[in-house]
């Protein structure tokens, strides 16, 4: 019996890295190939527990390098592609939008061409709720899969562009695909520049915790392990051509998140410092995941249990994030 071969792009990043570990452990009869360019947010130390497993292999490559990607697909004959690789930090996209267009749009197109040429069974494109734009503070209104795309940052615009390319390859060429759009992820191995790990590191060291604007921007939080299970389900059961929203049912203001972490670590809210708001800062994101739930998924973490687990993980793994914060690449 032949073994299924799965390419995971961006598998040295936060969500992709957790997904690689999830797949290697859950499916010993699948060969998982982790492809990553190892830019500043890429980190392979998280994979020490699986790096010697027979069903795992790492390939360093840039998804926008057409020659390398074409040769890899021809050699490996992947059956499935799960595409995480992306520049993803909004602040960085405001500083240098061009990098985001190259990786997120052009890189995705290179992968799609290779997938089409090699007849893969499924291309799962992992996107974000930020492509929908922003919601107001009406708690009864949510993003659905039919919400028009109205991205407001160079990052979300580049992701929306890649979503449309994936859709077009399905409609034009019949490429089997799904698109998933998730809310804000949190959990182990979250890169330290993001809100939750940044806050944890600042609070632990009793440093000022920056909060944009008035801190009232709302995000729906999704534990990364719940997200991995959702992508697994879509990969195997998703109807080709469909979009699935993945939400955590955990809406919190940024200020609530920060205060929760401060309280859990027994520190003072005096550490909070309000800073000039981010350009184009969306007010609220919130997802209706009914379509995915009808496919058979439900989150196992609420925010209270998830954030407690996450804080504990960061306290137990200080050497991982302290090394990144002190590295020259991060500085």
| DSSP secondary structure letters along 6-57 | EEEETTTSHHHHHHHHHHHHH-TTEEEEEEE---TT--SGGGTTTTT-TTEE
> Predicted confidence band at 195 (pLDDT cuts at 50, 70, 90)?
confident
- pLDDT tens per residue, range 301-330: 999 999 999 999 999 999 888 888 887 454
What are the structure tokens assigned to 112, written together?
Answer: 């799609």
| Per-residue CA distances from 235 to 80, 125, 239, 255, 292 (Å) | 8, 10, 9, 35, 12
Copy the structure tokens of residue 84: 């995480």
- Rounded to whole angstroms, the Cα distance separating 326 from 322 reads 6
Q: What is the number of other CB atoms lying within 10 angstroms of the CB of residue 237?
A: 11
pLDDT number for residue 21: 97
For the four alpha carbons of 126, 287, 98 and 168, in that order, the dihedral sign comes to positive
Question: Burial, 282: exposed, middle or buried (Cβ in 10 Å; 0-12, 13-18, 19+)?
Answer: buried
Give the pTM.
0.93
Q: What one-character-per-residue DSSP string does 153-170 give?
A: SHHHHHHHHHHHHHHHHH
Active site residues: 129-130, 155
pLDDT in tens, 68-123: 999 999 999 999 999 999 876 666 667 778 888 999 999 999 999 999 999 999 99
177's CB contacts (< 8 A; 6+ apart) are 122, 123, 124, 125, 166, 167, 169, 170, 240, 241
Q: Residue 16: what are its φ and ψ, rounded to 5°?
A: -60, -40
DSSP-assigned letter for residue 107: I
Distance CA 286, CA 227 (A): 15
Which numeric CATH code is attached to 4-189+221-247+283-301? 3.40.50.720
* Residue indicated by tokens 């806050």: 199
Between strands 218-223 and 122-128, the pairing is unpaired
Q: How far apart are the first and last CA of the chain?
A: 49
Q: Which two tokens stand for residue 20?
A: 């690689």
- Determine the average pLDDT of the residues in 35-58: 90
- Interval 112-156: pLDDT, tens: 999 999 999 999 999 999 999 999 889 899 999 999 999 998 899
Q: How high does pLDDT run on average in the chain? A: 92
Closest to 174 in 3D by CA, of 121, 135, 104: 121
Pairing of strands 4-9, 272-275: unpaired
Residue 135: other Cβ atoms inside 10 A: 20
């Amino acid at each position: 019996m032949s073994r299924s071969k799965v390419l995971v792009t961006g598998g040295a990043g936060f969500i992709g890295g957790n997904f690689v570990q999830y797949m290697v452990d859950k499916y010993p009869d699948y060969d998982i190939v982790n492809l990553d360019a190892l830019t500043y947010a890429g980190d392979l130390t998280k994979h020490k527990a699986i790096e010697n497993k027979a069903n795992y292999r790492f390939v360093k490559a840039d998804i926008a390098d057409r020659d390398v990607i074409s040769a890899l697909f021809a050699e490996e004959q992947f059956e499935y592609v799960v595409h995480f690789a992306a520049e993803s930090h909004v602040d960085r996209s405001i500083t240098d939008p061009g990098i985001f267009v190259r990786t997120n749009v052009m890189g995705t197109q290179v992968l799609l061409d290779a997938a089409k040429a090699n007849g893969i069974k499924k291309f799962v494109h992992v996107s974000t709720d930020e492509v929908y734009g922003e919601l107001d503070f009406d708690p009864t209104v949510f993003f659905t899969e039919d919400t028009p795309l109205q991205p407001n940052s160079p990052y979300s615009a580049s992701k929306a562009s890649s979503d449309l390319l994936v859709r077009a390859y399905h409609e034009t060429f019949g490429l089997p695909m799904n698109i998933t759009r998730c809310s804000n992820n949190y959990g182990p191995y979250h890169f330290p520049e993001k809100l939750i790990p940044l806050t944890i590191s600042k609070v632990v060291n009793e440093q000022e915790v920056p909060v944009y604007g008035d801190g009232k921007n709302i995000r729906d939080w999704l534990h990364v392990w719940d997200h991995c299970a959702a992508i697994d389900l879509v990969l195997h059961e998703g109807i080709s051509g469909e979009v699935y929203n993945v939400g955590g049912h955990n809406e919190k203001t940024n200020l609530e998140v920060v205060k929760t972490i401060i309280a859990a670590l027994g520190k003072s809210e005096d550490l909070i410092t309000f800073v000039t708001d981010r350009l184009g800062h969306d007010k609220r994101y919130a997802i209706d995941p009914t379509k995915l739930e009808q496919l058979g998924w439900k989150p196992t973490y609420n925010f209270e249990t998830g954030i407690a687990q996450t804080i504990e993980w960061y306290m137990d793994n200080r050497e991982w994030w302290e090394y990144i914060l002190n590295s020259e690449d991060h500085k």
